[in-house]
């Protein structure tokens, strides 16, 4: 069961997960791991079967790394596991479906902490940034827990739930979805007291019903466990605002510059972020871009409802720095805006607008890669990006990926005088970019994560910098 330090034993987990403790050892568990390379003392390794690999093939490796327990499928254990794990000191929990078992155990673990104030953040973009900002503000005055990075899926969220400890007073978890029905699972596990829906865009639209309306309906399910005591915050300017707030069993509020009491405006500092006037005090937000100002207002809107003071706001917001790949500014002879952790049409247009607005001593070079998981919207979204790029202040446009062919065609039609090139091969793109950029230039890198465009940051900042072959 739960001890004072927040550890749990394999027997409790097996019962909570609806599984069987097939092999027991005298141990306590502290965390969940799904990667055998990260397993170590105190870890429960969950063997999950994916499209490319099967976690059951790495149970022995997890044990060698020091894992104290493993959650495996019954079929595997009966057919192979019992024999393969002979002589290994490892508690083994068996379940028909290891993922469903993990999710059941996570709900049971979360339910042990009845006094924990739970914040849930979702949306098509900005989830991780809002989570980090909100956690920073709340964490000034109370012990908080948050999911690491973007571990927000039907795997990442339940694994992160096991980081909750008795001393925590608040939890700030993001809930991310990329298939229909996933929010139902996440919400049942977590049951937020306060939900924030940040944006409704086109991220994963091909996997979420094909329309922004279907995405909106799925995101709204974050309120499905509300019973009248909870709160929902949505963007004041969201076109789906009224739908998101309709028939919700709880208090519905807006966040934004007009909705946040005490917010008196903000001065745009370009690459250095924002100077915000909140409750008469100046707060420096180091995250650049209008989208990040809105992310900060979402965090302040939620935190202020639960007692956060202006001093909490200033200390918390000023402690947050850009996350890798998310509006990350890399300074040097050239300035790189590394915003290639993920991309959809809305976030690409926001990045272009931001780079158009900042002061640049040299030229603007926009490197735009393919946006994935857009389904039937793929061509229209890339054409939209092409038109935005054609009307931007960029002197050089470099498109990368097969989907971006339609974008460069839009540039050719709308602004034939612009310098624009398309690449399907990364090495050719990298060589061309390095040869084209020069000191004083601003380079925007924006693409879906699978395009790995962040590799250009290493190329452009390595010894020799631009023009290095």
Note the pLDDT of residue 214: 82
Which domains does the chain show, CATH number per domain?
A: 10-97 (3.40.1390.10), 113-319 (3.40.1190.10), 328-461 (3.90.190.20)
The predicted model scores a pTM of 0.84
Note the pLDDT of residue 445: 96
Confidence of residue 125 (pLDDT cuts 50, 70, 90): confident
User: Using CA atoms, how far apart are residues 290 and 117, in angstroms rounded to an integer?
Assistant: 29
List the one residue out of 329, 310, 302, 342 whose CA is nearest residue 128: 342
pLDDT value at 195 more than 70? yes
pLDDT per position as a tens digit, 345-402: 888 998 999 999 999 999 999 999 999 888 888 999 999 999 999 999 999 999 999 9
pLDDT value at 467 more than 50? no
User: Using CA atoms, how far apart are residues 124 and 132, in angstroms rounded to an integer?
Assistant: 16
pLDDT per position as a tens digit, 34-73: 999 999 999 999 999 988 899 999 999 999 999 999 999 9
pLDDT value at 206 more than 70? no
Note the pLDDT of residue 463: 42
Note the pLDDT of residue 342: 80
pLDDT per position as a tens digit, 129-174: 999 999 999 999 999 999 998 789 999 999 999 999 999 999 999 9
Question: Which residues fall within 8 angstroms of residue 215, CB to CB, at 6 or more apart?
Answer: 124, 200, 201, 202, 203, 204, 205, 208, 209
pLDDT value at 321 more than 60? yes
pLDDT value at 9 more than 90? yes
């Amino acid at each position: 069961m739960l001890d004072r330090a927040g550890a749990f034993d394999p027997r409790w987990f097996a019962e909570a997960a609806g599984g069987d403790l097939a092999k027991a050892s005298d141990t306590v568990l502290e965390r969940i791991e799904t990667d055998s390379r990260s397993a170590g003392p105190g870890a429960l390794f969950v063997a999950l079967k994916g499209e490319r690999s099967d976690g059951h093939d790495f149970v022995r490796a997890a044990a060698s790394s020091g894992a104290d327990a493993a959650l495996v499928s019954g079929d595997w254990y009966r057919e192979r596991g019992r024999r393969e794990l002979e002589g290994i000191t490892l508690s083994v929990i068996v379940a028909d479906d290891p993922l469903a078992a993990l999710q059941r155990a996570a709900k049971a673990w979360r339910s042990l902490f009845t006094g924990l104030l739970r914040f849930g953040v979702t949306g098509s973009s900005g989830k991780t940034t809002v989570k980090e900002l909100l956690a920073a503000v709340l964490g000034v005055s109370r012990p908080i827990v948050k999911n690491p990075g973007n571990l927000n899926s039907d795997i990442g969220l339940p694994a992160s739930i096991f980081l909750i400890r008795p001393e925590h007073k608040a939890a700030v978890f993001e809930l991310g979805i990329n298939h229909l029905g996933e929010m139902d699972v996440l919400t049942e596990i977590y049951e937020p007291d306060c939900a924030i829906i940040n944006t409704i865009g086109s991220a994963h639209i091909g996997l979420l019903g094909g329309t922004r309306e279907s995405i909106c309906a799925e995101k709204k399910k974050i309120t499905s466990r509300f019973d009248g005591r909870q709160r929902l915050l949505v963007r004041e300017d969201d076109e789906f605002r009224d739908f998101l707030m309709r028939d919700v069993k709880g208090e519905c509020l807006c966040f934004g510059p007009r909705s946040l009491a005490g917010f008196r405006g903000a001065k745009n500092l370009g690459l250095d972020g924002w100077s915000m006037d909140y409750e008469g005090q100046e707060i420096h937000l180091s995250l650049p871009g209008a989208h990040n100002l809105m992310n900060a207002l979402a965090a302040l809107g939620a935190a202020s409802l639960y007692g956060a003071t202006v001093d909490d706001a200033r200390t918390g917001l000023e402690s947050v720095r850009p996350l890798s790949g998310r509006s990350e500014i890399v300074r040097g002879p050239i300035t790189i805006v590394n915003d290639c952790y993920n991309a959809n049409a809305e976030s690409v247009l926001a990045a272009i607008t931001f780079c158009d607005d900042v002061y640049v001593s040299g030229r603007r070079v926009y490197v735009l890669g393919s946006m994935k998981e857009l389904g039937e919207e793929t061509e229209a979204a890339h054409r939209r990006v092409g038109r935005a790029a054609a009307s931007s202040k960029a002197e050089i446009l470099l498109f990368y990926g097969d989907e971006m062919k339609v974008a460069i065609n839009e540039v050719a039609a709308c602004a034939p005088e612009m310098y624009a090139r398309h690449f399907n091969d990364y090495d050719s793109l990298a060589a061309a970019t390095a040869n084209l950029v020069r000191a004083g230039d601003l380079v925007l890198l924006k693409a879906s994560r699978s395009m790995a465009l962040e590799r250009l940051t290493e190329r452009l900042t390595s010894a020799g910098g631009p023009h290095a072959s």
